[in-house]
Structure 1
């Protein structure tokens, strides 16, 4: 007589909305979770929140996903393309681990090579003009100046809550990339703007939306007094790019570190300023700009000294 084997019931695949929520619940870093949510929210907009996650099975599904991704992000930078692919790939891998799908729906897509760019630092005149420009809303003026003066990452600054600020000593505690708790500092320009922006608030997100949140969000991302939500990176980046004709928020950090290096900051100071843990990671940010290199060369020119 043959052996009797128990047949395990198949696990029913959830709808896309629940599959995404299950995946994000396991992402411990809040900044990473927000970044992943951006790509996954776009996925539900295209394929529907209540569509079974098995919609991504099969060759035709891989073609649809590739066509959607290229239409949605094909014209963006390599960094953006790769970030969105990372988010979707992480979710897809987790769904496969749960047994909900068996194939990689991203198999038609490839990461883009990121070319080294040594000219991303803005020169000092450009930064000064931007930060002193009239007609910029107080929230954006404060955010941009804080990003430049602190050289912090955008996610670190946008994640700040009012109670984490030490206004008297011009510093705040932030959670760096990787989860380490660190301190950022700023100068007089930011110190004058922050109290105006907060207007007496002692809790809630430092940088909040202009109106009350229209969707359910974690309590930590809502100002209890006004009901306004934390300003998202996507919206902050859109406003900055529109105001500058295409610059990125990251260029403020890049510029701050480059200018600090040009001013003679040593390696230890630059590591503390940037939040990096290795000199190799810091090197590409602390590269001297073309403007500073030209000034240095002019100072060494014998003809210029004779004049």
Structure 2
């Protein structure tokens, strides 16, 4: 089988049968394009011609590249290669898996960067006025939308891709929100009164005028021309709010997700509850946030206990 055909078949499998997100499928596509280009330079265009030595040489060359790739990027690249070859074996296209001995590098475990509660409030205020405040009446429509967007991200801990894919109907469940996560798995997440008020203000004052500018869409968050808001636009909105708030640390949509989880655990939430809210398949993924909370407990202990020092 030609490598190009094998890759296309595999990408259709992960997109349609496994239901992976467009973002994940695009990452696989980029990684496998690097892999097949490398094989092509060596005259290999058939899957049957790939051997264990070939895969090991590819991995070694990528690890030794200049500048050195991040361990996480190298691990993802190798995971994409293993996924392709394992799929071809399961499908009966080849008898053996040449990537079977490939061991990806262990990515260093980094603690998530979380904002303090005060910093989150600064970020929200910089995005737009709070509903009911003195500045809310004459607020710019985009600022009303931006406030609602950031309130929802922090209130639910959702991934930015989940928030921009929300439909208006997903908010019609009272104080809970229906989110569609990785693999199209749905989960229901509570939404606090601040976020509900911000979304209600956006739905009442802003969205009707924007959606009338073009063909109707069910998506909740829109751009000023009425098109659905993209992940990239959401990222830029958060970056702009962070700059206005004077937050020097790198702030991204995932920063609000990290802050959501950290503040819940610091407030006494059970790690398995946080796991469900975040949509993690394994509690092990969520437990990285417990290290952040332990650091906070250590600081309190050092300050408060008479024999801590």
Same fold (TM over 0.5): yes
Cα distance between partner residues in 2 of 1:96 and 1:148: 43
Cα distance between partner residues in 2 of 1:36 and 1:133: 34
Cα distance between partner residues in 2 of 1:13 and 1:205: 38
1:199 partnered with 2:207 = yes
Cα distance between partner residues in 2 of 1:281 and 1:134: 30
Name the structure 2 match of 1:148.
154
Deviations 1:218-269 (A, max 9, x none): xxxxxxxx6x46734x775687679675445433223212212222335665
Structure 1 residue runs of 5 or longer lacking an equivalent are 1-10, 212-225
Q: Which has the higher helix share?
A: 2
Q: Does the 8 A contact of 1:160 with 1:174 survive in 2?
A: yes
TM-score by length of 1: 0.61
Q: Does the 8 A contact of 1:147 with 1:252 survive in 2?
A: yes
Name the structure 2 match of 1:264.
268
Cα distance between partner residues in 1 of 2:115 and 2:161: 20
Name the structure 1 match of 2:86.
93
- Residue 119 and residue 181 in structure 1: after superposition, are their counterparts in 2 closer, same or farther (change >3 A)? closer
- Offset of residue 199 of structure 1: 0.4
Name the structure 2 match of 1:115.
108
- Residue 192 and residue 296 in structure 1: after superposition, are their counterparts in 2 closer, same or farther (change >3 A)? farther
Cα distance between partner residues in 1 of 2:251 and 2:88: 36
Q: Does the 8 A contact of 1:162 with 1:203 survive in 2?
A: no
1:231 partnered with 2:221 = no
Name the structure 2 match of 1:219.
none
Aligned residues: 272
Structure 2 residue runs of 5 or longer lacking an equivalent are 129-141, 243-247
Cα distance between partner residues in 2 of 1:266 and 1:276: 14
Name the structure 2 match of 1:7.
none
Name the structure 1 match of 2:26.
37
Cα RMSD (Å):
4.9
1:83 alignment partner, one of 76, 81, 90 = 76
Name the structure 1 match of 2:257.
253
Q: Does the 8 A contact of 1:89 with 1:106 survive in 2?
A: yes
Cα distance between partner residues in 1 of 2:34 and 2:223: 22
Judge which range, 192-201 or 33-42, deviates more.
Answer: 192-201
- Offset of residue 73 of structure 1: 9.9
Cα distance between partner residues in 2 of 1:115 and 1:90: 22
Helix, strand or coil at the partner of 2:178 = strand
- Residue 182 and residue 53 in structure 1: after superposition, are their counterparts in 2 closer, same or farther (change >3 A)? farther
- Offset of residue 193 of structure 1: 3.8
